[in-house]
Amino acid sequence: MTREEILENLRQLGEELDALGMMGEILLTGGAAMCLVHDARDMTKDVDALYEPKPIINKLAWCQNIRTGRQNIDVVF
């Protein structure tokens, strides 16, 4: 996933949470952080993250064709 794809997925997730009147919190780590924060790589194969509220974000992620793991969102586009 490229930097732009990660940002687009996060934007969509934010819009969905906003539509539900909720706020979420996501802490990105690993390759996604290297792409977005440090500009150290062009892409990553998954997005490692700690996030809340887990039940809502998991449901929204599945609806966006993203499968979720324990503390990991793996993109399956």
pLDDT in tens, 54-75: 888 888 877 776 554 444 444 4
Long-range contacts, stretch 27-31, CB < 8 angstroms, 24+ apart: 27/51
pLDDT single digits (tens) 8-43: 888 988 998 999 999 999 999 889 999 998 888 888
CA–CA separation, 1 and 51 (whole Å): 19
